[in-house]
Amino acid sequence: MSSIPLVLDLNKVTIGQGGTEVFRNTDFSMADAEMCYLIGKSGSGKSTFLKTLYGALPLISGSGQIAGFDLTKLDRKSIPMMRRKIGMVFQQFHLFEKWTVAQNLDYALKAIEWKSTKERSQRVDEVLDQTGLMDKKDKSVFQLSGGEQQKVVIGRAILNKPEIIIADEPTGNLDPESSEEIMQMLYSVASENKTAILIATHDYMLMEKFPARVFECLDNGIVER
């Protein structure tokens, strides 16, 4: 994989939190536009690993880069800039429920300093079309189903055309049909936008339907299955 551009590259890293080392001397990399799964038992460190990737936890030792940012040199100024290159999707939606779908997406663009109202409106419509939510544009979030709300979250994650999406149990609170729709959408996003996607999940049935490389958190390391 050394000749392929890497959106994520960790070398001999130690990762942990609260004084506890969860991963030691661990290597991990992902190519541009690649999709991978991260699995492991509860408490195996999946969330700790993902938090380190988007700067919520510092890298303890080793070297690493994501979306062109050096994880060993992050500070209060560079973390927000890095997160503009990373789309994040979680089990909890963190949406403004009384706002419309369009207002939620527009707010996210304002937060990353898209100044032009016209450009924001155009980008919101592009994302609504890509996520199949155009007919929900002016509906309040609380009127949507769980699956539709997760589509809004994915839409929010791809607004700034990130280089990689980090998804932590994105289908964990959804029924099987909605889960499959969400995975199909993530697959499409990876293909259309050439975006890498790393998904932490327990859903082995979805992994069979949507195959990709699988990595397991095991014995203080990450191994490919």
For the chain, the structural domain boundaries read 6-224
Residue 1 has pLDDT above 50, yes or no: no
Q: Which CATH architecture has domain 6-224?
A: 3-Layer(aba) Sandwich (3.40)
Average pLDDT over residues 132-150: 95
For the chain, give the percent of residues with pLDDT over 70. 99
For the CA atoms of 159, 201, 47, 225, the dihedral, rounded to the nearest 10 degrees, stands at -110
Identify the band that residue 188 occupies on the pLDDT scale cut at 50, 70 and 90: confident
Average pLDDT, the chain: 93
Identify the band that residue 91 occupies on the pLDDT scale cut at 50, 70 and 90: confident
For the CA atoms of 106, 109, 110, 115, the dihedral, rounded to the nearest 10 degrees, stands at -110
Q: What is the pTM of this model?
A: 0.91
Which amino acid belongs to residue 87? G
Report the pLDDT value the prediction gives residue 129, as an integer from 0 to 100.
93
pLDDT tens for 38-58 read 999 988 999 999 999 999 999
Identify the band that residue 218 occupies on the pLDDT scale cut at 50, 70 and 90: very high
